[in-house]
Amino acid sequence: MEKPSFKLVLGFALATIALAGVLLVVGSELPGFRTFDFVLTQGGVIELYSQYSTIDLQNHRWLTSRIDMVFPFVYGSFFYFAAKRYASAPWVYLLMFWVVVGIIFDFTENVAQLNILSGQDDFALKTVFTRAKFVFLAVPVLYCSWKFLLDLMPGKKRRRV
């Protein structure tokens, strides 16, 4: 398996950071600077939903349907290519699998959020998808981010683990 270049990984890292910044700026218009994305309980989602005005619901719908549907492709590409660059077999395949499954759960979470924001009762389903997203992305995010940061540091070449 050919290893992706550092420049490719860096490009997706910068794109991830930029798009995360856009999500934060747009999300800052919502009550308490909170979107549904980090709320892990059904009660928490219902409580946050009840605080939203009609404009908040429209803003959150716009944010989720446009920016948050693209975000998994961007951060997913970063972690996928970082896994290919920094991990050795068989771990690389496991990391890439976890990234892909995490992205699928992120998309399904976004669909559930859009359903909630349109008045449907998908609160329980949304929280299941959110938890699954974080479970599957935790290890690849921590491992790939750490290895990427080490790669940014000047000094001798580090061996691949």
* pLDDT band, very low/low/confident/very high, at 129 (cuts 50, 70, 90): very high
Mean of pLDDT values over 78-99: 88
Residue 17: is its pLDDT beyond 80?
yes
Give, in order, the Cα–Cα distances in Å from 160 to each of 84, 87, 150: 11, 7, 11
Burial class (CB within 10 angstroms; exposed 0-12, middle 13-18, buried 19+) of 72: buried
The pTM score is 0.82
More confident residue, 106 or 161: 106
